[in-house]
Structure 1
């Protein structure tokens, strides 16, 4: 009898230990904050949208999983995953939220290498159908519009009505590949942002387009006796014939090199002068679409890498309440650099050694997504070879996208190479008590910090420029190899308050000497 009772108890406990698995379609109908457990195949793995975002799909529907304060480990596309969290509607997009510090929340991999669900074929107008939100879809249409203010918003139409394909950060998809008038076939998951329904491809393999346009020059730079030319797409190497299809008037091209998957052409010349012109003719892409003739008049000073500034816009600079971009909260900062005669551009793709070679200054405003190992290697090599780096961090726990990475933690993956690291604390003081003599601080008296990190100095090469009343360093300068590094612990001083509607920004640019500090820093880094 006792054995029988024990067996019954074991059966009951075992039964209770299994969570009730809910159909995703039914979960999507529930109200926010309800706790549920779901199980589905991973259609979007961590990485393409962020390290703390995946999508699951079962036979009934799909949904976005958001791991607040953490990241999904060892989860791959095709895994069968079970997860428990609470429902939340973020800017009209339904999510299952897992809190890192909630002991009842979890995710676990049930099995690996399962077949992905076949994408549901829809019409372009159905991109606007909320019933498909979270699902893995396939659509085909002609590109009828590309948003002139945001090239990531691409509208396609198959005759049924237009829908948006949105290129999210971190996917590695370059929006400049796409043109109005060509056909696009795309797979991805359907999401919603405010009133917009958007199809989100995961990477370039999710998109197939007609290629009927010739390559275009994206940007170019002069460094010593080299000309760097970046194209918007891969070019066909056989179309490059030195001093014929590629010429520099009054100069002789000695050799060339292609890099970054044949998108950057590096030309070595015997000499250069201001009378030189770069002539490109019949350069083709891999589909044999040929350029006509393009003549670029070269200016040794204006086109020199020494006058070029690159702002990072690929690591969550607009996450949450942030807007640290040159057409947003850092627009006055960018304009100030332009007024110094500098060419200012931004990068929306991974850092690459060949791209960084085209610039003198790299500015990284408060990242919210971690750098990849090869990006860190490219940054270190850039500075070591003579590049200038301006690092702009923020206070600890300023994780704006909930992926477990704030800017001090992200920067600390490599800044110890320069002899310092961010404390990740929270300073607030205006004006700061100590401003030490340096070229950067000349004429600077009033600088504010509105929630920023102090900096721990690790070697004698690092000089403190500004500190708070407790003498905690807030801004420092050092050298690394042939290059210069300046770091500051807050993003607010250079914020001009002109970000997206709804973002609570702080107009630090107009306060005290904050703007002049930015200008002094840029001047110092150009030398």
Structure 2
């Protein structure tokens, strides 16, 4: 890959750029193949993937690079990623996602187990140092301080990517599974009750739906990475929304036989303060099928083309791109 002034030029089209007098004279163009579709040069953003809430318990492998224990910087270094790098460059169930973001010039890091989730502290991995915080199927309840940190991060401009799983999916047997943990964050905190206007339904569904929001201008369903046409849940939970609690919340994809109302929603988005939130009720679509030895994983990321597009469009929307 070629980095010029911290920009990564990626896409299926040639992008002409000029960063110095010499380059202006040469008038070069560069073409790169993106993971999904065309992506233009952008200001790099920082994405932080959580690994503090037992995201690798049981068969879960919801990290960009498993290693022995997920560490802050994935190895090998992402500076070695090129347009042809495959997801196996890193070893984790979310490596395809991480590599795709790196190909667009963004920085990806992991918040290792044992590291506190903070906002406004002096720590190197304090949330104020990142644009988007990704939490894929948390299996340990957030502390009161962590809830405050996460909600204030969003309220003050951050992006939160929330991934749930189905009810009774407690992988570490501590009495809490991801739907209950997310609902606890949103209903039991000192910042605001139901700040996003979203509640995870305690159910378990498996189906493929094409019942997506009709609006063609929605940046998550119709973004720079392509158009989302369908979504498959392989044991996931739906959600309901409350526009009285948050006037900006909206469903994006519903169960196939449902009306586009306030329930039976498979993924949704909202703003809170100056920040943004995206919620999806199943971890399967982000799973790239590879990870730590012994884990049973499935290639959800490539099972439907829309899965990678949805997660990438949502990631970039959360980063305000």
Q: TM-score, normalised by structure 2?
A: 0.67
Runs of 4+ aligned residues of structure 1 deviating over 6 Å after TM superposition are: none
Q: Shift of residue 346 of structure 1?
A: 0.8
Q: CA RMSD in A?
A: 1.6
Residue 396 of structure 1 corresponds to 167
Q: Shift of residue 501 of structure 1?
A: 2.1
Counterpart-to-counterpart distance in 2, 1:357 and 1:482: 14
**Alignment partner for residue 449 of structure 1, among 233, 239, 264?**
233
Residue 315 of structure 2 corresponds to 522
Structure having the larger proportion of residues in strand: 1
Name the count of aligned residue pairs. 224
Q: Shift of residue 341 of structure 1?
A: 1.1
Counterpart-to-counterpart distance in 2, 1:358 and 1:420: 26
Kindly report which structure 2 residues correspond to 1:88-487, keeping only aligned pairs within 5 A, or say none.
307-327=45-65, 328-348=92-112, 349-353=115-119, 354=121, 355-415=126-186, 416-430=194-208, 432-436=209-213, 437=215, 438-442=218-222, 443-459=227-243, 460-471=247-258, 472-487=264-279
Residue aligned with 2:268, SS: strand
Residue aligned with 1:499, SS: coil
Query: Which has the higher relative contact order, 1 or 2, with Cα contacts under 8 A spaced 6 or more apart?
Result: 2
Residue aligned with 1:402, SS: coil
Q: Shift of residue 390 of structure 1?
A: 0.5
Q: Shift of residue 456 of structure 1?
A: 1.3
Residue aligned with 2:146, SS: helix
Counterpart-to-counterpart distance in 1, 2:99 and 2:232: 21
Q: Shift of residue 344 of structure 1?
A: 0.4
| Deviation string, structure 1 residues 203-253 (Cα, Å, up to 9, x no partner) | xxxxxxxxxxxxxxxxxxxxxxxxxxxxxxxxxxxxxxxxxxxxxxxxxxx
Residue aligned with 2:116, SS: coil
Q: Which runs of 5+ in 1 are unaligned?
A: 1-300
Q: Which runs of 5+ in 2 are unaligned?
A: 1-40, 66-91, 187-193, 259-263
Counterpart-to-counterpart distance in 1, 2:316 and 2:139: 27
Larger radius of gyration: 1
